[in-house]
Amino acid sequence: MNQNLAAKANDILQSTVAAPPTVPGIVAVATDRHGDIFAGAAGLRAPGGPAMTTDSVFAIFSTTKAITGTAALQLVEEGRLDLDAPAKTYVPDIAKAQVLEGFDAAGAPKLRAPKRDITTRMLLLHTAGFGYDIFNEHYNRLGQTQGLPSITTATKASLMSPLLFDPGEQWEYGSNIDWAGQVVESITNRRLGEVMQSRIFEPLGMADTAFTMTPSMRERLVAMYGRAPDGALAQIPGFELPQNPEIHMGGHGLYSTALDYTKFIRLWLNDGAGPTSQVLKPKTVRMAVQNGLGDLKIKSLPGIIPTLSNEAEFFPGMPKSWALSFMLNDEDAPTGRPAGSLAWAGLANLYFWIDRRNGIGGFWATQILPFADAASVGGYLAFESATYAALDQKKAA
């Protein structure tokens, strides 16, 4: 499988970098339950800079979310976190969130009290009611007219946003898991990054993952690019997520490598087992990977801020659900990914999947805005498809 996959995957990486509209640099890693079965890189880290390497460091944006969810699930196992208790039990400030019912004639938001309390389960499922200005026009308006800070500021003020509906009634992608990170901090009385370091990164050997980059990580940092409507790419000078933030943003704030992230993927492929210890119990993993939305389905993400995101939907037209920090495809995907697999993405066109049935997964990393960049998505889907084609050849041999 490794030889078949290596040839196809390297061709995909090289063609994605070379063929217009080009992608400046990519790292792609595939893994099974035992270790990486492919790791490749193509392109450059920065304009005129060094070649991309598999240990290059990326701002991983929303692929942070699943790691925060894992930290919360560890506390559930220990009996320190009740997913169905009011989240205000742990973070009283969340009780200040009111439901936005539109804007009055003067442009001021119209707010009312929610019908029920937010729970941590709702936060992990994105049903609490919080949104993102990137994907919601009301949040974008609040930022432009009411001074609501962007969540990329990593401030407490950026979390103090209204709800778009009564908790538990809809699915809306947003700052929910940033709040879940605050729940973890409250229970442990430690910063989220410290919790992740001791309870997840060290047991898994993830030495290159952190909210604040080490000098070694910074030396391998990949430049951020923006793609213009005509397809042209330009480096975004000085782009960096806050390195000494007020809040460790559990929804998007980590820097990491693709090689580190597949170590995290293997945790979920192996029922919570790390290389030397059990990070999550198997029964916790089995609970966490189930659809938590009932009859609700996740929806496409509109590109409200075009410089940050195009309209985005994974496998358009296919029903998709949400587990505790992951998307689930309800039907078999055209790449070969079976129904019930786990997946998600990061804003700068990073993508991962976790197929527990076949024991494989992978991570695709670029640093391009806006999200859902056609060249990046196309390369990623080709890489995932190549992984399944190699798996099929192995089964047939």
Helix (H) or strand (E) holding 37: strand 36-43
Render pLDDT for 235-255 as a digit per residue (tens, 0 to 9): 999 999 999 999 999 999 999
Report d(CA 241, CA 59) in Å as an integer: 8
Q: What is the value of pTM for the model shown?
A: 0.98
CA atoms of 124 and 72, how far apart (whole Å): 9
Looking from the CA of 57 toward its CB, the CA atoms found within 13 Å total: 21
Give the dihedral sign, CA 134/138/142/144: positive
Cα–Cα distance between 118 and 86 in angstroms, integer? 6
Q: How distant is the alpha carbon of residue 35 from its chain centre?
A: 22
1: confidence class by pLDDT, cuts 50, 70, 90: low
Place of tokens 């290596």: 6
State how far the Cα of 206 lies from the Cα of 197, in Å rounded to an integer.
8
Residues 314-337: tens digit of each pLDDT: 999 999 999 999 999 999 999 999
- Spatial neighbors of 63 by CB under 8 A, at least 6 apart, are 254, 256, 261, 344, 345, 346, 350, 352, 363
Q: State the catalytic residues.
A: 62, 65, 173
Check if the beta carbon of residue 63 is closer than 8 Å to that of residue 350.
yes
Are 130 and 175 within 8 A, CB to CB? yes
pLDDT tens by residue, 105-127: 999 999 999 999 999 999 999 99
Phi, psi dihedral angles at 140 (to 5 degrees): -60, -40
Confidence bin at 373 (pLDDT 50/70/90): very high
Domain at 2-61+207-396: CATH code: 3.40.710.10
Distance CA 121, CA 64 (A): 17
Cis peptide before 370 (omega within 30 of 0): yes
Each residue's pLDDT tens digit, 51-99: 999 999 999 999 999 999 999 999 999 999 999 999 999 999 999 999 9
Report pLDDT digits (tens) over 257-290.
999 999 999 999 999 999 999 999 999 999 999 9
Instruction: Give the closest residue to 279 by CA, choosing from 293, 294, 259, 265.
Output: 265
pLDDT at 48 over 70: yes
Q: Which pLDDT belongs to residue 102? A: 95
CA distance linking residue 53 with residue 65, whole number of Å = 25
Rounded mean pLDDT, 206-219: 98
Q: Give 64's DSSP letter.
A: G
Residue 169 burial by Cβ neighbours in a 10 Å radius (0-12, 13-18, 19+): middle
Distances (CA, A) of 202 to 195, 208, 263, 277: 10, 10, 11, 10
**Where exactly does CATH 3.40.710.10 map onto the chain?**
2-61+207-396
Q: Residue 14: is its pLDDT beyond 70?
A: yes
How does residue 395 score in pLDDT terms, banded at 50, 70 and 90?
confident
pLDDT band at 396 (very low <50, low <70, confident <90, very high): confident
The rounded distance, in Å, linking the Cα atoms of 1 and 144 is 51
Residue corresponding to tokens 């970098």: 17
Q: Pairing state of beta strands 368-369 and 225-227? A: parallel
Hey, what amino acid is at 150? S
How far is residue 131's CA from residue 126's CA, in Å, rounded to a whole number?
9
344 three-class SS: strand
Give the pLDDT mean for 198-205: 98
d(CA 373, CA 348): 9
Q: Average pLDDT for residues 18-28, to the nearest whole number?
A: 96
Closest C-alpha among 12, 1, 2, 5 to residue 380: 12
As a whole number of angstroms, the distance between CA 334 and CA 97 comes to 40
Q: Is 88 exposed, middle or buried (0-12, 13-18, 19+ CB in 10 A)?
A: middle
What are the φ and ψ backbone dihedral angles of 230, each rounded to 5 degrees?
A: -85, 5
